[in-house]
Amino acid sequence: MSTTVTSKGQVTIPKAVRDRLGLKPGSKVEFKSGPGGEVVLKRTDEKRPPSRFLKFLGHAGPGLSTDEIMALTRGDD
């Protein structure tokens, strides 16, 4: 992803990045310098986007016991 700096020093944050961070108008962000010269954009307000994995929580069921997993791993019948 790339963007262009305007004459005022402004850039548009690409939509994929805004979506990933859950940024909306009024969201607070911070720019930090990384050790390799990169710049990291971080959301700094208290609102965090929901985990994209949260919807899968509890869908696997109770699962197998450790003994059952070990038996499958070893090929025991």
- Is the pTM of the predicted complex or chain greater than 0.95? no
Q: What number is the average pLDDT over the span 12-24?
A: 90
What average pLDDT does this structure show over 40-54? 77
C-alpha count within 13 angstroms, C-beta hemisphere, residue 34: 7
Least confident of 3-17, 36-50, 54-68: 54-68
Q: How confident is the model at residue 59 (pLDDT cuts 50, 70, 90)?
A: low
Length of the chain counted residue by residue:
77
Banded model confidence at residue 77, pLDDT cuts 50, 70, 90: low
- Split at pLDDT 50, 70, 90, the class of 60 is low
pLDDT of 53 reads: 77
Long-range contacts from 11-20, C-beta under 8 angstroms, 24+ separation: 13/41, 17/41, 20/49
Q: Which two tokens stand for residue 20?
A: 């990933």
| Paired residues of 29 in beta bridges | 43
- Would you call 20 helix, strand, or coil by DSSP? helix
